[in-house]
Structure 1
Amino acid sequence: EGAVYEHLSTDKQERAMKFLQKQLFETPEWLLDQEIFGRIEFDGSIERLSDYQTRTLKNLLDYGRMARLIENEELNGSKAYGLYDMMTDLRKGIFSELNRNNKISLYRRNLQRAYVDRLDYLMNNEQKEIPARYRSWVTRSNIDVNRSDIKAVVRAELKTLLSNLKSSQYRFSDQMSKIHVQDLIERVDLILNPNK
């Protein structure tokens, strides 16, 4: 009885994005207890955290989820939290150092590269077919990526990010942040201009 699916309110989705930004994308120091790590392993904490963040990015930037955000905006207009809203909030949080000229830590550099890698994937791939043996158990939103707004929004985000990176590249005082930003400029430019 009733709808099998309802779009969440804009407020709830914005609060969810803020939660992810605060608890996972800002380096979660509460997960990084070196006293414990020193007793159980000699390395791996950096990669483990990067894997958590990358998995979350892939879940957020999933073709089906992005299609539902597009549909929500079409059905609910200005009351909806649309794909462009989500992408803008995500970029601003993940690249907050560009506005503040703060040193970009190793954890954040890994996250920022993972974000650019995911946008590269979204620009250059289609949604994969579900293998026949799993189709009766797996439910997802299917979308023709090339006919949807996904690539257009991702391209717009990449252009905005490239502009932000270029305007901030000389503001950093530490060498690794400078190197990282220059590397990201090259990576994003290559995604936008693959035949350069």
Structure 2
Amino acid sequence: MSNKKRNRFITRIIVLSVLVAAIVFTIYTSLAKEKYDVLEVGDYAPDFALVDLNGEKHQLSEYKGQGVFLNFWGTWCAPCKKEMPAMGRQYEVYKDQGVQILAVNIAEPDLKVRTFAEQYGMTFPTLIDTTKSVMQAYNVKPLPTTLLINPEGKIVKIITGEMSENDIKGYMEQIKPG
């Protein structure tokens, strides 16, 4: 076999090996990956338990009978920074009317989240999803994402993107217990 033919044969074997490895990797990751159903309005909100900045555990199912304003956010997220003060003001109005806010940060360091919460005056429970398991269970893609959960535990609305204070007020009215 000439050098030219041998080199071409080796190149083809390498390319074929890379393609086979890529196919095997793709099949393996798609089979091994945990699947989450896409949540829709009308579905029951998946239960979860996370710890807040004060070390207190919050389990969604413990809020049954109340409306839950479930907000996923990040300290780097510009719309999150804009809506947090409005959420805080509306929380003060609605917390005694049976509407709770659970603000779920996506896997940022405790100190960073604590500093943000103090800076923006967040008085509602601020939770950190360190493993991103709650984010995955709720199929959260863009931040901020907010889910409105009625007193029966069903999702009544999914909001992606920034909300105005009027939006927040209207949403809290929607999930306020009858």
What's the TM-score, normalizing by structure 2?
Answer: 0.21
Greater percentage in helix: 1
- Could you say which structure has the larger radius of gyration? 2
Greater percentage in strand: 2
What's the TM-score, normalizing by structure 1?
Answer: 0.20
